[in-house]
Amino acid sequence: QVQLVESGGGLVQAGGSLRLSCAASGRTFSSHTMAWFRQAPGKEREFVAAISPSGGITYHQDSVKGRFTISRDNAKNTVYLQMNSLKPEDTAVYYCAANRGIMSRREYEYDYWGQGTQVTVSS
């Protein structure tokens, strides 16, 4: 069982930056693929980024490439999402997710989820 707790959300002006963190419980963090998803008001949850267990492979959704970066620190059982050049359309609840090693953009392939952290970008 893996428990995930996100932090770092908040209100920021367009063009600003935030860094989200997701702390994971358990001793198997380094064997899990980690991902970030987001859900904007009135929309379905969508993939943002994923990172392999070792951190050597990353995927980013096209709309965030060059602005967001996913990373992880296995010694701290934590995954991060650095978000730069934020836009109002990035406003959403951001969720951390984990699975046992499958690099995927598909929501249903993730077994563990955090409760989410709100990111609001004002224009």
What pLDDT digit, counting tens, does each position of 59-78 carry?
A: 999 999 999 999 999 999 99
The DSSP bridge pattern shows strands 92-99 and 33-39 to be antiparallel
Give the separation between CA 59 and CA 45, rounded to whole angstroms. 17
Where do runs of H (alpha helix) occur along the chain?
none
Whether residue 119 contacts residue 18, with contact meaning beta carbons closer than 8 Å, is answered with yes
pLDDT averaged over 10-residue windows placed end to end, the chain, 123 residues: 94 98 91 97 97 96 97 97 98 96 92 97 96
The rounded Cα 63 to chain-centroid distance in angstroms is 14
Give the separation between CA 16 and CA 99, rounded to whole angstroms. 31
